[in-house]
Chains A and B, each alone.
Chain A
Amino acid sequence: MSTRPDGLIAVVKQDCPTCTRIVSVLRQLGKRTSALAVYTQDNPEFPSGIATVIDDTSLAHSYRLGIETVPTLLRFENGKEVARAIGWHRGEWESVSACTHLGASLPSSLPGCGSKSAEPGVPEKLAIQFGKTKLAARRIAIGALEDEIEACFERGWTDGLPVVPPTEERILHMLTGTTRSPDEGVGMTPPNYSACTVEKVAINAVLAGCKPEYLPVVLAAVEAALAEAFGMHGLLATTFFAGPMIVVNGPIARNIGMNARINALGQGNRANATIGRALQLVIRNIGGGVPGGIDRAMLGNPGKYTFCFAEREGDSPWESLAVERGFSPEASTVTLFAGSGVTPVMDQASRDPDALCRSFAACLKADGHPKHANSPPPVLVISPEHTRRYADAGWSKARFRNTLNRYLQIPIAGLIAGAGGIAEGISKERTKEKETMPKFRDNALHIVRAGGDAGLFSAIISSWGGSQPITKEIVP
């Protein structure tokens, strides 16, 4: 970019009432200094009576000068900007221009209007045309007669539902959602261990239908999925049902409008739906994890399209999942979990907390198989009405967990292979000198509160043994 000549630059548009009112000021400045250039965004004839009016209908100058509001007055010295006034403010204009008694007939200040270079969708177009940041991804030409959405299907980029075609404008817009550089590495993506960059995640977030403000959540979820302990490769390769499930904690869930209430595990909320989908598309497109390829799930589960929800924290009597996992309540986090679908728990009769614990335990004991013990801990999604039973009785989350774990100790006799006429079960050798075994490994049940106000139901989300849950803090 060539350096600009020293002097004053005013950026205006005729469509702005303030710009039309300050034409007299521009004329004043034009008379007092020869070094005034007026850049006009909409009408090259506007304003009249000024020696140097530069046609900026292409908005190239406005983009490069970073103009957000018109009028803007700038002063350049030695090729560099040294002062800027936004909108009309007499004091500021006099300071920037080093001229006095400007616009005596005008009010001391008038707000400006939005720059044409800042209108929706325009910054991305200008960035492509005039900007320095170029995206690295391969360009794929789509024929004039080809439908873009069909083209995405034909190239195998979708989960079976239509995706949003990833144009450069949409990707640049998506990248406004993060402060991270497009070329920053996020990790190696299983199963092919292909390099994953912020840009590639953003492209898949476009496909999934995300808004830019969801991108930091998607990036954190991808980082969690790439953590070795999560075991994403194995999670694909297993014939079991599970796929990555995302629980979002902290203020970001509310800020981006995630659903933690009615139908929290279901359809209908854009953030829930598209964040979970973006993660799956990253695994598919960047990692190469495709059903029938490395993804060997015998049945899979509908959550493999998308499985993402927020914990209902605001009115919760208990600390959240993220706080239990060592994060501050003010932190925004994702916790990734290998989720195998939703099993209902129905208890509409228990009135005291202990009875409800027995009920939960009875249902949880059937997780996977009633004769399995030391199983991978599932997520118990406890509803507000069930939580209230404990809150009303003054039970902490720790007391709830401890009581539940006591009832989840299973007498060995019924677990042994062959017992009850059922071949499935644990071998006798594993049971030496024990009378009971815990249903879940390390008694480490994950407890998350979510759901609508009404309904004495909760939900068990089964896990998969090869994966450990991973929590990552979401960074802007």
Chain B
Amino acid sequence: MSELLDPTSEQKSAHRERVKRPRSLDGLTIGLLDISKSRGDVFLDRIASHLTRRNYAVNRYVKPTFTRPAPIALQQQIAAECDVVVEGLAD
């Protein structure tokens, strides 16, 4: 581990901040990412049916394998097409 000195006026947290969570899903496109972990699709199918019943826009994506990060093209596609993403992490 190394240490850098802050070049800023130090008015923000030293920790990287997460993207703000939306207050509501109204008008947003929701991505559902299947990371190819066993039974993740079952979980996401259920989420999708709940969301579409409430008329939310849902896109489905599949990562080739849970053992590696998503391919850059898929990351870019999801970032371009969705406002929020749900993924199933565990089986």
Nearest chain A CB to B19 CB, angstrom units: 13
With A154-B16, A192-B11, A194-B11 already in contact, the answer to whether A137 and B2 are too (CB < 8 A) is: no
| A135→B11 CA distance, assembly (Å) | 18
Query: A135 with B5: in contact, given A154-B16, A194-B11 (CB under 8 Å)?
Result: yes
The docked-state distance in angstroms from the alpha carbon of A137 to that of B3 is: 11
Residues of A within 8 Å of B9, CB to CB, are: 189, 192, 194-195, 200, 285-288
Chain B contacts for A141, CB-based, 8 A = 1-3
Are B2's CB and A157's CB within 8 A?
Answer: no
B26 on interface, CB distance cutoff 8 Å? no
Q: Quick check: B4 and A140 within 8 Å, CB to CB?
A: yes
State the main secondary structure of chain A at its contact with B.
Answer: mixed
**Distance, CA A64 to CA B10, complexed state (A):** 32
- Interface centre among B1, B3, B14, B16, by most chain A C-beta atoms within 10 angstroms, is B3
Q: Kindly identify, within residues 36 to 74 of chain B, every residue whose CB is under 8 Å from any CB belonging to chain A.
A: none
Task: Write the B1-36 contact mask toward A (1 if CB under 8 angstroms, else 0).
Answer: 111111111110010100000000000000000000
Q: How far is the CB of A37 from chain B (nearest CB, A)?
A: 35
Interface size on B, residues (CB 8 A): 13
Interface core residue of B4, B8, B16 (most chain A CB under 10 Å): B4
Which residue from A144, A167, A285 sits with its C-beta under 8 Å from B8? A285
Interface size on A, residues (CB 8 A): 33
* B3, B8, B14 — most chain A CB neighbours (10 Å): B8
Query: For chain A residues 185-238, which have a beta carbon within 8 Å of chain B?
Result: 189, 192, 194-195, 200, 203-204, 207
Query: Which chain B residues lie closer than 8 Å to A207 at the CB level?
Result: 7
Residue of B nearest to A145 (CB): B1
Contacts of A265 in B (CB 8 A): none
Contact, CB under 8 Å: A138 / B5: yes
**A137 CB contacts on chain B under 8 angstroms:** 5-7, 10
Question: CB distance B7 to A204 under 8 Å?
Answer: yes
Residue numbers in B under 8 Å from A281 (CB-CB): 7
- Please tell me which one of the listed residues B1, B2, B3, B16 contacts residue A155 in the complex, with CB atoms under 8 A apart: B16
Residues in A neighbouring B7, C-beta threshold 8 A? 137, 157, 166, 200, 203-204, 207, 281, 285-286
List the B residue with the shortest CB-CB distance to A167. Answer: B4
Chain B residues near A171 (CB-CB < 8 A)? 5
Bitwise interface map of A from 173 to 194 toward B, beta carbon under 8 Å scored 1, else 0: 0000000000000000100101
Which residues on the A side are within 8 Å of B5 (C-beta)?
Answer: 135, 137-140, 166-168, 171, 203
Q: State A288–B11 Cα separation when bound (angstroms).
A: 10
B-chain residues with CB within 8 Å of residue A192 when the two chains form the complex: 9, 11
- Cα(A152)–Cα(B2), bound, Å: 13
Q: A138-B10, A140-B5, A288-B8 are in contact. List 18 more A-B contacts (CB 8 A).
A: A137-B6, A138-B14, A139-B3, A139-B4, A141-B1, A142-B2, A142-B4, A143-B1, A166-B7, A167-B2, A167-B3, A171-B5, A192-B11, A200-B7, A200-B9, A203-B6, A288-B9, A288-B11
Binding site for A on B (CB under 8 A): 1-11, 14, 16
Can you spell out 13 A-B residue pairs with CB atoms less than 8 angstroms apart?
A135-B5, A137-B5, A138-B5, A138-B6, A139-B3, A139-B5, A140-B3, A140-B14, A154-B16, A168-B3, A192-B11, A285-B8, A287-B9
